[in-house]
Amino acid sequence: MRAFLISENESDFDAKVTDTSTEPVDQSDLKIKVEYSSINFKDTMVAAPKSRVRRAPRLIGGVDAAGEVVESSDPNFPVGSKVEVHGDGIGVSRDGGFAEFIYAPSRLVTILPSNISTKDSQVLGTAGLTAAQSILALENHGLKLGGEVLVTGATGGVGSVAVTLLAKRGYKPVASTGSPQESQWLLDQGAVRIIGRDEVTDKIDRVLGSEQWDGAIDCVGGATLANILRSLKYGAAVAASGLLGGMDIPATVYPFITRNVALIGIDSVEATPQTRAAAWKLISEANLDVSDLIDRVATLEELPEALGAVAKGATRGRVLVVPS
Ligand SMILES: NC(=O)c1ccc[n+]([C@@H]2O[C@H](COP(=O)([O-])OP(=O)(O)OC[C@H]3O[C@@H](n4cnc5c(N)ncnc54)[C@H](OP(=O)(O)O)[C@@H]3O)[C@@H](O)[C@H]2O)c1
């Protein structure tokens, strides 16, 4: 089968489309014919030379995929089921979705709701599920419908799906972006207003800012996350999933102990089947038209260029991958 294979040894790095095969890691793995995959930021890190994220010297990239089950010994996933797969070592330490077929254990596979096609599931992809998990986490913390929710990295995968889902669900997403030329597009996705990236990344001068946000979804981290913490309303929470702006959080304990705010970590990789199902249910209820979230559709051959564009932050929304 054709696949985007990444291989590296001490002297050579290669990432290209080639004829290869993939094998189950465990006898009970499901075999899925991949109809669509997508590019997530993590894919750019896995496909980089000397990657510290990649955990195998040779593997097929792609941290998620969707398609049809073609071999199964699990009665919960009969042959013919339309499914999505992501998480654990998929595309990181074992073969991923940039291929015609993928093997995966059933705990990483979800049968798609009937109103979500395999294509739409990958327009959303892991980034979209992370956005949905973030909303669920804020709601579990007490976010009330109609609240203003700050979304950072708003034109990216996590950010753009978060804006779209929040608006559909009855919240007021405020989009923070470093891409002001995309402001109208973000308003079209449902943002109630746009603020510049600088407004949430600027140097922190006081330990507490004015109370602005009923909640926040942040995939930037660093100073941005610290700034969000000091500007959440009393009792509000931020769901944090990314580190594009840095790993360190230059924050104080003040917002936690004087405003009772919460920092909730979001991890899609080890999400339980229950969390995955809840995230897909939230997405299914939103009845999204996701076509406007597609930046481009890439073939396997077009992956190097498309991965480069995502790595540079030069895409808007999501990159869909068609493996055959
Ligand atoms: N925890 C999890 O399970 C999980 C799952 C998925 C993703 N993530 C993480 O979430 C982050 C975003 O992923 P993604 O797939 O949405 O990436 P993406 O599609 O590449 O989008 C990232 C967006 O962030 C903004 N941005 C880029 N560089 C920035 C910087 N240095 N400082 C501030 N903002 C910056 C840009 O949006 P604007 O131009 O609009 O500002 C960019 O479009 C990554 O760190 C990724 O690893 C984590």
DSSP secondary structure letter of residue 218: E
Among candidate residues 75, 126, 74, the one with its CA nearest the CA of residue 97: 126
Q: How many CB atoms lie within 10 A of CB 145?
A: 9
Counting atoms of ligand 1 from 1, which one is nearest the CA of 175? 40
pLDDT at 51: 96
Side-chain-facing half-sphere of 188: CA atoms under 13 Å: 11
pLDDT at 202: 72
pLDDT at 76: 97
Task: Take atom 45 of ligand 1 and give the residue whose Cα is closest.
Answer: 242
DSSP-assigned states of every residue in 153-217: STTSHHHHHHHHHHHHHT-EEEEEES-GGGHHHHHHHT-SEEEEHHHHHSPP-SS-----EEEEE
Task: Take atom 4 of ligand 1 and give the residue whose Cα is closest.
Answer: 241
| pLDDT (tens digit per residue) in 71-96 | 999 999 999 999 999 999 999 999 99
Mean pLDDT, to the nearest integer, of 185-189? 98
119 CA → ligand 1 middle, Å: 22
Residues with CB under 6 A from ligand 1: 40-42, 126-127, 130, 153-159, 177-179, 197, 219-220, 241-245, 266-269, 310, 313
Could you tell which of 244, 249, 318 is best to mutate to test the pocket of ligand 1, judged by most ligand atoms within 8 Å of the CB? 244
Instruction: For the chain, list the domains and their CATH numbers.
Output: 2-115+288-322 (3.90.180.10), 127-265 (3.40.50.720)
Among candidate residues 318, 289, 280, the one with its CA nearest the CA of residue 133: 280
309 CA → ligand 1 middle, Å: 13
Task: Take atom 9 of ligand 1 and give the residue whose Cα is closest.
Answer: 242
Mean pLDDT, to the nearest integer, of 1-24? 96
CA distance 166 to 163: 5
| pLDDT (tens digit per residue) in 160-178 | 999 999 999 999 999 999 9
| pLDDT (tens digit per residue) in 203-246 | 677 889 999 999 999 999 999 999 999 999 999 999 999 999 99
